[in-house]
A and B are shown apart, each in its own frame.
Chain A
Amino acid sequence: MTITATKDDFTGTATSSANGAWNIGVPEQGTYTVELDESTLPEGIALAEGQENPRDVTFSQTSNLSVIFAFGEGIVVQQQDFGQNLLNRLVAGLSFGLLLALASVGLSLIFGTTGLTNFAHGEMVTLGAVLVFAFNALGLPFWLAILLALLGGGLFGYAQDRGLWRPLRRRGTGLVPMMIVSIGLALAVRYVIQFYFGGATQQLPYAQSPEIQLGPVSISPNNLWSLGISAVVIALIGIVLLKTRLGKATRAVADNPALAAASGIDVDSVIRIVWITGGMLASLGGILWAYYRPGVTFDMGSAILLLIFAGVTLGGLGTVFGALIGSIIVGIFVELTTVFGLAADLKYVGALFIMIVVLLFRPQGILGRRERVG
């Protein structure tokens, strides 16, 4: 395949060798645009999700720099018939929707109990995947890396609440200022992650996962695991919320914090638990997202932040089960739009557009209810 690097009026072209390696010599240091000609890719291979092409690369200190274009698998779909394709995308969409739901359920719980629209939630997603990568790179066993990443996510949630949001609540900071603070936090955390992690795409262990045939559906084992894990975790969260004392208290705080306090519920500690849970859920979502794409990057969470928001708003801000349904709709919608002819690089547009349209006709969301007054 052919790769081109350009800067001002310099253009360098290279054709990669059979193992995919390529090399372009450039006259000076600086920022170059590197583009891979997708028409020269072998049949059945496409760039993976989120692989920017062309992309800008900058080098000023070093004299050489490597640029990796990661490839996704089985993205080429022309050979399959429509029904088969629809089914496959439906299952993939469900898997994607459920992993989105992990993040959006946490976001929704936080919104419900504190009123905060947290723009830093994407970074909580990123953190999970980055931590697994980091712990694994340190040589820890895979399962331990995952466990520590989940704990790290919970700790990040706790630290955010303790160090930032709770003091702001005490000061009586309004919701709009808090939203803007969360944007500042998102920027800061995103680039702190980039600072340490770098700008490249990395892969988690076992990221290669060729598709298998499962009855009529072909799906990669990773996707299957992801689907199962998120379904189980979300079911657990649902049971906790519906059946346990703590879960009911959480719903009570989300419903009416002042009345919850007047009933003897320690609102602050419920909120703390919600932040910890939200951080862990986001972490898990991030790990699964790293396998779904596949790849870990410093901005992988912010890339799906708006899809998470779309899921939450579709279902009705602050209703947990709404966030679940909304996310599944978004996930399936994103995957299905490509089946119905929308270009792959526009697949997020459909989901965002649907969110705007739903807000137009049902601002309380699909599941959100207008409460009876009086």
Chain B
Amino acid sequence: MDFGFILSSAASEIFSPTTAAYALAALGLAVHFGYSGLLNFGQAGFMAVGAYGFAISTLTFGVPFFVGLLIAILASAVFALLLGIPTLRLRADYLAIVTIAAAEIVRYIVTTNQLTSVTGSANGLAAFEGGFYSMNPFPEGSYFGMNNRDFFIRVVGWALVALCCTLIWLLMRSPWGRVLKGIREDENAVRSLGKNVYAYKMQALIIGGVLGALAGMVFTLPRGAVQPANYGTELTFFLYTCLLLGGLGTVLGPVIGAMIFWVVLSLTQGILYGLIESGAITWLNTVQAGQLRYILVGVALMLLMIFRPQGVFGNKKELAFA
């Protein structure tokens, strides 16, 4: 078994574009669930809206990159509004069920054969990333062992993560953020101060949703393809695992959580494959080893929620629930 290879491929997950995408989307969930107590189970839907919003506007309408970006952000904001209007006044579990249902509706709609010309149905869409890579300032060559494209998307992805983290951090320290935390602690108290609780929740839902849309773009750009199968409910639950790993009510928590998530997955995968190929494990084949990761995530999610709901780095006082 080649431990050097296993370790280096696990380490490369730390700054992979997928990790950046998970970090962004989990940061969005931190705004929803960690800071505002909104149980959004449809973050995968927001990511899909972002990814498809960008891909469709680029391919079908031929808009330039930044217009596509703007459309993706607007689409996710509208999605948040549509979801928020019926549910933000309801109990937490209703919001959870409605958001997960809405995310599935999005997935069914981009999968249906009725709209193949626009969405590419189950095959998805491809070749929309040209506009992005044409802005690549790095000339061809090797950057830390990566080609200039891989390097560019990493730089952009992580710059975006840093920017969003800073913005959310500032936002949560602002008077606006304090009201939001107040709502999480005691909604009625904030209401009695004359604040419009509903508007604050809606704004939080939109901000976290836009982060999800950006995550969707960072997720699909390096792949050069967007496929509906990637945006199922399991994606949302992986994001919750990242969020809980890192800590709910913190800005860096989701980022660190996403890194831990991918490093641990890559490590277990690498070690299992190694053991299987070397013949040390015979009761498992590589397909089953791939399934083990889901079992692992599920168990991790349960254990985290039961024994350390504030996350590895979180503060128990920042919990949205008792």
Contact = CB atoms under 8 A, between A and B. Distances in A.
Asked if A and B form a direct contact in the complex, defined as CB atoms under 8 angstroms apart, the reply is: yes
Interface of A: 33, 35, 52-54, 56, 58-61, 117, 168, 172-177, 179-181, 183-192, 194-195, 199, 302, 306, 309-310, 313, 317, 343, 345-346, 348-349, 352-353, 355-357, 359-360, 363
Nearest to A111: B93
B122 A52 contact: yes
Contacts of A168: 306
Interface of B: 39, 85-87, 90, 92-94, 96-98, 100-102, 104-105, 108-109, 111-114, 122-123, 229, 233-234, 237, 240-241, 244, 285-288, 290-292, 294-295, 297-303, 305-306, 309, 320-322
5 contacts: A180-B301, A184-B299, A184-B301, A184-B305, A306-B101
B298 A185 contact: yes
Contacts of B299: 184, 188
Nearest to A6: B123
Contacts of A53: 122
B interface secondary structure, majority: helix
A337 to B, nearest CB: 12
Given A60-B286, A61-B286, A181-B302, A306 B104 contact: yes
Nearest to B83: A356
B246 to A, nearest CB: 15
B23 to A, nearest CB: 20
Given A187-B298, A195-B291, A356-B98, A173 B306 contact: yes
Contact of B237 (A183, A345, A348, A353): A183
A186 B305 CA distance: 14
- Highest count of chain A CB atoms <10 Å: which of B114, B240, B305, B320: B305
A54 B301 contact: no
A61 B298 contact: no
Listed from nearest, the 4 A-B pairs whose CB atoms lie closest are A188-B298, A187-B298, A184-B301, A184-B302
A174 B92 CA distance: 12
B294 A177 contact: no
A353 B108 CA distance: 12
Nearest to B113: A345
A185 B297 CA distance: 10
A349 B108 contact: yes
Given A60-B287, A177-B305, 10 more contacts: A174-B321, A184-B241, A184-B298, A184-B299, A185-B298, A190-B298, A191-B292, A310-B101, A345-B114, A349-B109
A160 B48 CA distance: 34
A176 B305 CA distance: 10
A359 B294 contact: no
Contact of A191 (B98, B240, B298, B300): B298
A223 to B, nearest CB: 24
Given A174-B321, A349-B108, A356 B102 contact: yes
Given A176-B39, A343-B114, A194 B302 contact: no
A310 B290 CA distance: 32
B117 to A, nearest CB: 14
Contact of A189 (B105, B114, B298): B298
B224 to A, nearest CB: 11
B86 A356 contact: yes
- Highest count of chain A CB atoms <10 Å: which of B90, B101, B306: B101
Given A174-B321, A187-B301, A346 B288 contact: no
A194 B291 contact: yes
A54 B286 CA distance: 23
B93 A175 contact: yes
A313 B108 contact: no
B295 A192 contact: yes
